Structure 1
Amino acid sequence: MLPDTLDITAIRADFPILSREVNGHPFVYLDSGATSQKPRQVLDAERAFVENFTSAVHRGAHTVAGEATELFEDARARIARFVGVGADEIVWTSNATEGINLIAYGMSNASLGRGGQAAERFRLGAGDEIVVTEAEHHANLVPWQELAARTGATLRVIGLEDDGRLRLDEAAAIIGPRTKVVAFAHVSNVLGTVNPVSSLVDLAHAAGALVVLDACQSAPHLALNLGALDVDFAVFSGHKMLGPTGVGVLYGRAELLNALPPFLTGGSMITTVTLTETEYLPAPARFEAGTQRVSQAIGLAAAVDYLDAVGLGAIEAHEEALGGRLLDGLGAIPGVRVLGPTHGAERVGLASFVVDGIHSHDVGQFLDDRGIAVRVGHHCAQPVHRRFGVTATTRISTYLYNTADEVDAAVQAVADSRAFFGVDR
């Protein structure tokens, strides 16, 4: 039995898609690690804005433009409160990937001399080091590879223990006087591991390095206070936390955002433009060139209101129970290996696994035939799969709207797949 922390029946009624069937079966959605479903409250908020307030924010002087701007900035303030920071420290992006690229390219521009003395701390060159982990999503690896290539800096990697946890002794040896950036995921999208943020922040700041936190898999599931975590930058995506696609969030400490040279340039992020030079607005506007993703920001604000109303503590407890049930069920199936830590380690309610003798895509197709949606492949994290000697896994990821029966159905389907593919002999 799961703890009575959430009114699952009421929650599920808010998500229209969960009432449909797939392949003649009730739809079981266990792929929230990739993208979450959206409740009616989010759909209604975005629709209401489009129907009643569509206008260019921060541009028009007419009534509706003013109303739209107020709603847009109110959404920013609600997101800021949700993660414990100031509204001027929240930048709208298209997704978390854009947010990380924004930081990396801003640092690249600083390394070319843009931004003057204020941007000095962002400049990289030969002998400087960028530190990531072996468990990173490609979005928090490739931009740093590119930054290293552009500046001559060296990329260094913190490895993993066999149980999927970070090698903190290795981190302490790697992070030092040459380190300029330490970038890592709060929660691994493959292993489910909740990484020790405070330990890594302490190591980085003691070395004078900046910390970039990928919070894509933590913001939807854990109570997140970025101010208390003392990170310098953080990113997360709306579509993983009940919000629309096409909107993400970059957090940066105000003094850092105001010193970082912009990445995308154009309209709305300037003060003065001549034919030869341009002066930029303070953050966050200096990073929001062009027409904004306004209705999506409104929808994301409605999503965090929904999460607040349900309660992140209750969501975390619910998913912890589902995750334990999932690990127990998969662990009881012969020939199934779950990547990452099992019981006793801090982790979220997802599990990536291999079934001996069956390709992950075939496992996923078998589950899909029963109406169960999961993720298959390398999950945009090839290095961590390579670390554990596999090319792909099947991933089951839970969220606040999932039930114990759905987890049990998925586990049973995984068990049944062994007989179907003839590997249970």
Structure 2
Amino acid sequence: MSTVTHNEASTELAHKALRFLTAGSVDDGKSTLIGRLLFDSRAILADQLDALEKRAAGAPIDLSLLTDGLEAEREQGITIDVAYRYFATKTRKFIIADAPGHEQYTRNMVTAAAGSDAAVVLVDITKIDWKASPVPLLAQTRRHSLLAHLLRVPNIVFAINKLDAIEQDTETAFNNVKASLEAFAEQAGIVNKGVIPVSALRGDNVTTPSANWPWYNGPTLLQVLEQLPPSDERHDGALLHPVQYVTRDSVGEGEASASGTGHQYRAFWGRIAHGAVKAGDEVQIFPSGETAIVAEVRHSALVVDQCEAGQSAGIVLDRQVDISRGDWIHTPGSIKPTANFTATLAWLDTEPAVVGRKYWVRHGNRWVQARITSIDNRLDIHTLEDTDAHELAVNEIGRVQIQTQQPLPVEPYASNRVGGALIVVDPTTNRTSGALLVQAA
């Protein structure tokens, strides 16, 4: 079996694409910023550019149209759904999620943040009183930053946008807002990777340094993004593998099957939450408790030596075991299933979260019924203090106690984003109502 050194693993990690989202309040310029990144990096197809130029009819191109693809988005001039775009520079590949800023679509922002390595939080300087001391930040700026932090987005960058709209004292305006952002980040425990002055419309400090602000000699936004490491779940320790689907495939001509099942094998596919798996490992199945030996590991339809956290793997066992979607494959004795746990709840539904009501929750790929047994407190996004609460309204964040109908192998979200996250669904409307982040089981 081939081995990978620490240096080789670090090099491989550095070459992974960086997944980042743009966040912040509505009309802060998120779509325009992404359009600027795509335009300056030449990631726009010729026919797209022609269509934008015809639509502009001689006026400056509206770069936000590169991501606002829904008809309703173009009509209202806002982002509604998450739009994903791809681009690359000479040193890095990127996957961008353009998240909506409107409070009504906060659930879409949460969806984008859950799988991101970084968040660029935009601050529209024309919407705030930058002459005040301290500068008051918009509620949605604080909310999106806190949600990204709670969702364990490891790299958060603040971009102060539309400085070109200020005719004078741009340096003072930037420094005042920067001081307020840094104080907020420190109070909230957010690791701030940088505060950058930009003009998404004009292109200042997005991909190239601005000639209009000689007082700033720091990196551009793109330079910061190129240096950020992607998030990486732990590869050592116990295996935790959520089964997403099961395949029954035939062994190809001339290919030997190590599973001992003749010319067919069953592979249990999913993305490994943490740990690694290789042939010969003993594993246990949740919830049945049965054990088996790994006969072979498949990745992209090929038999490989092993797969690690973050990779999609197909695990073939040495014997027939009843496993289906929603089950978990893990190192024997490594999980502690529980039906009661404490969690942070980000509530996203217009109907408030109330104690005692039954909901559906999904953990990995398993659905179970659950209820909120108590709401301990609610987080005040302005003071960052905990306050008493008996319910959680839309876009509010609080600490709750959860009881599930069946035990689940939950883990603290701080240690693993897969094992520690659940979504809450209203059984009546089937709306995604909230996101649960396990604190302690």
Relative to the length of structure 1, the TM-score reads 0.26
Instruction: Answer with 1 or 2: which has the greater Rg.
Output: 2
Larger proportion of helix: 1
Larger proportion of strand: 2
